[in-house]
């Protein structure tokens, strides 16, 4: 089968032919239809300092995908050939305290699909049945392919109630854009989004943002004044991983405000603890998705009319992977999807 692989240390990925995997006991072989490019994949492609530490070549990369069940191993009971599925890319041990308590997203021994084990940028991928999510209701394969980041957005945006609240979102990457649509769908009053990319801010506005701010030209205080906000934001969603964005968010939260932080910083982040304490702010870290409660929420949101398809701005065939990665890296896009059923898209 064709697979996009990190064949050796250093920058770059190669499309190679590798044997098609076979499902073992409790495992599912999935024919991949679509894959989404994640920031993690860009780090691996660039072979930055984190990737050099985390990834051991040779490795098939990729963890955002949708496909159909091609075959099942012994003991698989809940899936049938031909079903459309996505996959949870966090592979957990099943035996630690959190796994045994049903909090699998907090497994202390989590390993990542496409990071520590062969992933989904290939014509076929194998996953444990316990990591496979079957789409029991109609969903476009492109959307099904981005359920992983969609889950990050749902987990973050709904960490605190947003109904009737004023919400600040720092970072308008694809997950931040999805969070805009989710917060709007969930009844937020005002949604202010900050970024440095006008292209992404334009898309955030189309997805339901009340105000979008390019922070190189405008301030959050100006947005608050324009909206007549006197006491600060009720809920903050930190999606950028930037220290200055988190500091700015804390400074603009109202008393009792709640912050959900998904963005991963690359270094230490000084926090104004005096403001956190005196305003009684809540700061909650968010990692991945609750397995599988978040997946259930995603499916219900789509059934109830939430539309995240506009976040997907570019589609490429698998032979165009270099162009797909360059587009994703440019920042002038939303989500980039690769089609594994065709070499090139029109």
The catalytic site residues sit at 40, 43
Known binding residue 191? Answer is no
Count of H-run helices and E-run strands, the chain: 12, 18
Q: Is 247 annotated as a binding residue?
A: no
Q: Is 38 annotated as a binding residue?
A: yes
296 has binding-site annotation: no
CA angle 49, 54, 60 (to 5 degrees): 115
For residues 104 and 97, the answer to whether their CB atoms sit within 8 Å is no
Task: Tell me the pairing of strands 253-261 and 132-134.
Answer: unpaired
286 in a labelled binding site: yes
d(CA 314, CA 303): 24
Residue 91 marked as a ligand binder: no
CA-based nearest residue to 213, from 194, 198, 190, 191: 194
DSSP assignment of 55-110 equals --SSEE---EEEEEEEEE-TT--S--TT-EEEE--EE--S-SHHHHTT-GGG-TT-
3-state secondary structure string across 221-271 = HHHHHHHCCCCCEEEEEECCCCHHHHHHHHHCEEEEEEEEECCCCCCCCCC
Q: Is 124 flagged in the annotation as binding?
A: no
**Cα distance between residue 277 and residue 319, in whole Å:** 53
- The verdict on whether residue 99 carries a ligand-binding annotation is yes
Distance from C-alpha of 215 to C-alpha of 197, rounded to nearest angstrom: 9
Q: Tell whether residue 64 is among the known ligand binding residues.
A: yes
Say if residue 93 carries a ligand binding annotation.
yes
The phi, psi pair for 211, rounded to 5°, reads -140, 135
Residue 202 annotated as lining a ligand binding site: no
Query: Are the C-beta atoms of 38 and 72 separated by less than 8 Å?
Result: no
Binding residues, as ranges, are 38, 63-64, 93, 96, 99, 107, 175, 195, 200, 262-264, 286-287
Binding residues for NAD(+), as ranges, are 175, 195, 200, 262-264, 286-287
Binding residues for Zn(2+), as ranges, are 38, 63-64, 93, 96, 99, 107
């Amino acid at each position: 089968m064709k697979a996009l692989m990190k064949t050796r240390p250093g920058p770059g990925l190669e499309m190679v032919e590798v044997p098609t995997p076979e499902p073992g006991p409790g495992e599912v072989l999935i024919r991949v239809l679509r894959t989404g490019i994640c920031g993690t994949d860009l780090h691996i492609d660039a072979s930055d300092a984190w990737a050099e530490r985390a990834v051991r070549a040779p490795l098939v990369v990729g963890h955002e995908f949708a496909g159909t069940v091609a075959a099942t191993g012994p003991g698989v009971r809940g899936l049938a050939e031909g079903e459309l599925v996505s996959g949870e890319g966090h592979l957990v041990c099943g035996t630690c305290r959190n796994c045994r308590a049903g909090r699998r997203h907090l497994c202390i021994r989590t390993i990542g699909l496409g990071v520590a084990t062969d992933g989904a940028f290939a014509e076929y991928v194998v996953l444990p049945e316990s990591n496979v999510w079957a789409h029991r209701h109609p969903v476009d394969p492109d959307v099904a392919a981005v359920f992983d980041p969609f889950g990050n957005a749902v987990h973050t945006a709904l960490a605190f109630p947003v109904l009737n609240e004023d919400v600040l979102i720092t970072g308008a990457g694809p997950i931040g854009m999805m969070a805009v649509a989710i917060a709007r769908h969930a009844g937020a009053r005002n949604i202010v989004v900050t970024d440095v990319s006008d292209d992404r801010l334009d898309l955030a506005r189309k997805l339901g943002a009340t105000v979008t701010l390019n922070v190189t030209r405008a301030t959050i205080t100006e947005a608050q004044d324009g909206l007549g906000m006197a006491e600060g934001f009720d809920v903050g969603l930190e999606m950028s991983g930037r220290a200055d964005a988190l500091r700015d968010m804390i400074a603009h939260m109202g008393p009792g405000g709640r912050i959900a932080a998904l963005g991963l910083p690359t270094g230490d982040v000084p926090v104004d603890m005096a403001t956190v304490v005196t305003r009684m702010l809540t700061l909650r870290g968010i990692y991945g998705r609750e397995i599988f409660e978040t997946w259930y929420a995603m499916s219900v949101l789509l059934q109830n009319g939430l539309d995240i398809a506009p976040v997907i701005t570019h589609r490429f065939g698998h032979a165009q992977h270099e162009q797909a990665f360059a587009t994703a890296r440019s920042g002038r896009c939303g989500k980039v999807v690769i089609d594994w059923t065709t070499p090139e898209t029109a």
